[in-house]
């Protein structure tokens, strides 16, 4: 019988393997950090699928595919223990960050000015982008917690990218609502 690629039974006792083979508990801060990035990537896939269905969002659909690939790289980076002598790998480039910033600026120029806090929601596509934004912030907190708890190094561009990605997801939610004819929902006390 052929051995399954989908299950190895090696994690049944609550341990997992890092890149390089080191075994650690599945609840370790490192695993939590790259697990949050994995969940973020799944949410990005959902938003990307909605962008495919939303007229006028083709550019964002393409950008989200690129984001998904970078998040896979970020997860691999977090799953790879580095020694103090290891050179820091370039996981995310300045161009990756600039791409998000340019799209944020472009979308912001297409939308009415934001005058108040807004509630997450609106269209289904916009609501999914808001969920992805909150998962992105949680992934950011998990990465910072991993750094604080372990003292291990993480490429600084990763934190900048994740922070900028949450900003992009916020403006994307507003843009998807705009394309769908759903105005922002203002927060009222």
Kindly tell me the sign of the dihedral angle through the C-alpha atoms of 5, 10, 11, 17: negative
Looking at the chain, which runs of residues are DSSP E strands? 15-17, 23-25, 118-119, 185-186
- Above 70 in pLDDT, residue 7? no
pLDDT, mean of residues 27-42: 93
Tens of pLDDT, residues 38-91: 999 999 999 999 999 989 999 999 999 999 999 999 999 999 887 667 776 778
Q: What is the mean pLDDT of the chain?
A: 90
Cα separation, 79 vs 146, whole angstroms: 11
Give the residue among 19, 4, 9, 47 at the shortest CA–CA distance from 134. Answer: 47
Cα separation, 30 vs 40, whole angstroms: 15
Cα separation, 138 vs 33, whole angstroms: 9
């Amino acid at each position: 019988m052929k051995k399954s690629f989908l299950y190895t039974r090696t994690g049944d006792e609550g341990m997992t393997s890092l890149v390089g083979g080191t075994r650690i508990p599945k609840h370790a801060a490192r695993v939590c950090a790259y697990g949050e990035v994995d969940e973020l990537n799944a949410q990005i896939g959902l938003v990307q699928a909605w962008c495919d269905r939303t007229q006028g969002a083709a550019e964002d659909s393409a950008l989200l595919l690129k984001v998904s690939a970078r998040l896979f790289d970020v997860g691999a980076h977090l799953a790879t223990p580095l020694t103090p002598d290891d050179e820091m790998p370039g996981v995310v480039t300045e161009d990756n960050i600039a791409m998000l910033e340019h799209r944020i600026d472009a979308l912001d120029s297409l939308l009415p000015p934001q005058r108040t806090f807004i509630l997450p929601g609106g269209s289904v596509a916009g609501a999914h982008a808001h969920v992805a934004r909150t998962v992105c912030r949680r992934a950011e907190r998990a990465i910072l917690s991993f750094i604080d708890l372990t003292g291990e190094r993480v490429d600084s561009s990763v934190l900048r990218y994740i922070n900028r990605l949450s900003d992009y997801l916020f403006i994307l939610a507003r843009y998807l609502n705009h394309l769908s004819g759903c105005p922002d929902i203002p927060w009222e006390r």
